[in-house]
Structure 1
Amino acid sequence: MDIIDKKITALLAEDARRSLADIGEAVGLSASAVNERIRRLTTSGVIRRFTVDADHAALGLGVTAFVLVALDYEAGEPAFKAFVAQHPSVAECHHVTGGWSYMLKVRIPDLAALEAFLGELKAHRFLARSETMIALSTAVERGFTPAEERS
């Protein structure tokens, strides 16, 4: 991956709908050369998907919560991973260090839905214990940020 690939990735992270011609102009390549690089970046796994940055509240998912989970390993870690991977409320799942096994980020319509989600985790016997934090507001949330913008 060279500097042009990094610039293309940064431009797509900024706006995934940007035209090939526009990207080409920014990096000094033809649209077809940009298309080939994007294809290669996608095939190699550097670019995993193209997404939309949606307003979750406008979609009826106004509550964001973080659930720290200490697994009950009798239920099985693979079963837990499969459950959270398919659950529509789970936005992210991270294996973490410390006293917890995983941290989940869930997006839900209301507190009743959060209670129902926690009930599902309990019903599947995934939890040895858990702790839930509800986000009051979000100060910063971003996807990929190119290295030159992080410094």
Structure 2
Amino acid sequence: MDIIDEKIIDVLKENSRATASQISKNVNLSIPAVSDRIRRLEESNIIEKYTIKLNREKLGYKLMAFVFINIDCAPNIHGFRELIIEFSEVIECHHMAGEYDYMIKVLVSDTTELEDFLSNKLKSIKGVQKSNTLIALSTLKEKNNR
């Protein structure tokens, strides 16, 4: 990967629907050369997929929370991992070092839906010993890619 590949990736980060023609103007390469570079980036899995960014509020998802979770013992970790990724409210799940075992990012419409998720879904998973929920008041920066 070189500086031109990085420029192509930067264009695609801003608009994953950019055409090879549009990208070629930004990186000063021919359209076939840009297409070939994009194909190589895809084949090498540097580009894993193309996606869109949705306006969550307009879709009714007005509350984002971060939930820190402790699992009581190692035998319950596998079951937790299998179940937590199935919940549509969970948009990220991270295994953590430090005081908590996992951190999940939850997106819901309101506090009632958050309460339902915490009480009836999260706490019903075998091994969930402790959780700590923090509600995001606003988001200053959020990017999908570096």
Counterpart Cα distance in 2 of 1:87 and 1:29:
44
The corresponding residue for 2:138 is 137
The corresponding residue for 1:52 is 52
Any unmatched runs of 5+ in structure 2? Answer: none
Counterpart Cα distance in 1 of 2:92 and 2:134:
14
Distance 1:61 1:75, change over 3 A: farther
Aligned residues: 145
Counterpart Cα distance in 1 of 2:143 and 2:45:
20
User: Structure 1: which amino acid aligns with 2:139?
Assistant: T
When the two structures are superposed, what TM-score results if normalisation uses the length of structure 2? Answer: 0.90
Matched, 1:106 2:142: no
Q: Deviations over 1:30-77 (max 9, x none)?
A: 222222222221222211221111110111111000000111336622
When the two structures are superposed, what TM-score results if normalisation uses the length of structure 1? Answer: 0.87
Please state how far the C-alpha of 1:15 moved relative to its aligned partner: 1.1
Any unmatched runs of 5+ in structure 1? Answer: 146-151
Distance 1:75 1:57, change over 3 A: farther
The corresponding residue for 1:66 is 66
Decide whether the 8 Å contact of 2:95 with 2:101 is kept in 1. Answer: yes
Counterpart Cα distance in 2 of 1:128 and 1:44:
41
Counterpart Cα distance in 2 of 1:111 and 1:34:
47
The corresponding residue for 1:124 is 125
> SS at the partner of 2:57?
coil
Decide whether the 8 Å contact of 1:71 with 1:101 is kept in 2. Answer: yes
Distance 1:65 1:36, change over 3 A: same
Distance 1:85 1:44, change over 3 A: farther
Please state how far the C-alpha of 1:80 moved relative to its aligned partner: 1.8
Counterpart Cα distance in 1 of 2:138 and 2:54:
16
Q: Deviations over 1:100-140 (max 9, x none)?
A: 01111111111121112112111122411000001111122
The corresponding residue for 1:83 is 83
Distance 1:30 1:84, change over 3 A: farther
Of 135-144 and 54-63, deviating more is 135-144
Of 100-109 and 37-46, deviating more is 37-46
User: Structure 2: which amino acid aligns with 1:133?
Assistant: L
Counterpart Cα distance in 2 of 1:107 and 1:75:
28
